[in-house]
Amino acid sequence: MYMYQNFMPWFFSMLVLVYTAFSMVQISYQAYAIDLADDVNQRTRITAYREGLGLLGVFIAAALPQILSDASDAKTGFAQYSFIFAPTLLLAVVVTVFASPPALHRAAQITHTTVSTWHSMWAPLQNKRFRKLLIIFIVNGIAASIPATLVLFFIDHVLRTPQHTAALLCAYFAAGAAGMPLWIALSKRYGKTRSWLLGMAVSIAAFVWAFMLGEGDVWGFAIICILSGLGLGADLAIPPALVADVIDDDIAKGYETEDGEMVILTDDDMAALPSTSSREIAVEKFVPRDQIDPLLLEKSYYLEPDKSATKPYALLRDALKAADRMAIVTVSLRARMTMAVLRVRDDVIVMQTMLWPDEVRSPDFARLDGETDAKPAELKMANLLVESLAGDYVPDDYVDDYQAAVEAVVKAKLDGGEVQEVPAAKETGGEVVDLLAALQRSVERAKAARGEAS
């Protein structure tokens, strides 16, 4: 007895250390789903597979000590288990640190002011949906912890079959892992909240009959373990994904300064920003074609004239072709003013949106600052390669394999009758833009800016 008392401080210290480390790891572990996907259904799949593999680890950890102890004795079995556990844990840490997938790039959720650790601990409670979810977590955690704590005593002192402990635990965890695909499908079809409630109901309906069991009722308790294990699958797969969805409410729009500080923009700030819904294309200047760097160009749009604007459309098209220039214009797209160019292609005016100059990254590659001159023999070989592959660009020579694969999948679904009707869009009359009037206003603004008389 005295020997055990000497070990009590060590046991207590190790218990505090292990549970503190476990809590720190668990915080990042549970929050990881939101950093891997924005799609709500994908989050459920990620957490389900993650927890399924976690159950596999629990399955092994629960069964292996019993297997090793049965092969020799309890003391030797747990000693062997320790020698297996330590290197396995180290390997798992290495794989986690170096092989985990990168998180999504998302706006930082901190302001430019320093936030204390104590304040940040209470910040999630400002989220109304999280507060409601937290109450459910607490109640569900208590409900799950009580049978989890008492199950070993129940097997030993009620069933009186301790030799079946490993088998019963394995059945419980195996059922939880096997039920993961079911809960993924139910969450996608009926929603996460309803599916989680169903999982709770399954666990309650299965475990409530345990009080009727007595000595030797192993098969009855095995059925309870399997059914409640199915409920465990919902309890592991769905709540982390729900938390990730709730955290989305706290994701803010931020602007990062050059020194790395983050300024958060509120909804009122965003509403005060200049926006426009004008459908007018304002011509700013006509410039030579070779002055527009293709790096600045983004999306392309064909411009079609309205019936009443066919003549001014053709006039602008022919003027651009004759001058061999492109028009620099500003246009409102998605409530934001955007730069674009107008050019002629196959007798149709094409509008190509442009990046703003500050959106183009300046190339700064230190590796190119050193000696990069090629030797004559190397340059000759490179020229031979260019000449061997020289030719004209023929668009039909290139095939979008991905698009072809998508079309094959769509065709297969059409052949199988997997078709849904799409409601017809309501026709709305488009606003007619007087192109000549728009050009005249652009010319007048340009003259006013230069101080010239009309």
Separation CA 397–CA 395 (nearest Å): 5
Nearest in space to 135 (alpha carbons), one of 127, 97, 68, 436: 127
Separation CA 452–CA 336 (nearest Å): 30
Which pLDDT does position 49 carry in this prediction?
79
Nearest in space to 241 (alpha carbons), one of 26, 42, 24, 23: 42
Residue scoring higher pLDDT (158 or 335): 158
In three-state secondary structure terms, 332 is strand
Q: Which helix (H) or strand (E) holds 259?
A: none
Which pLDDT does position 422 carry in this prediction?
53
Burial track 335-363 (b if 16+ CB lie within 10 A, e otherwise): eeebbbbbbbeeeebbbbbbeeeeeeeee
Which pLDDT does position 258 carry in this prediction?
62
- Strand-pair partners of 328: 285, 341
Q: Where are the domains of the chain?
A: 29-96+124-251, 275-359
Q: Are 235 and 51 within 8 A, CB to CB? A: no
Residue 36 has pLDDT above 80, yes or no: no
User: pLDDT digits over 402-424, tens only?
Assistant: 777 877 887 777 777 665 665 55
Q: Is the pTM of this model over 0.75?
A: no
pLDDT tier at 267, thresholds 50, 70, 90: low
- Winning range, highest mean pLDDT, from 138-152, 220-234, 241-255, 257-271: 220-234
CATH of domain 275-359: 2.40.290.10
Residue 102 has pLDDT above 50, yes or no: yes
- Winning range, highest mean pLDDT, from 63-77, 340-354, 430-444: 340-354
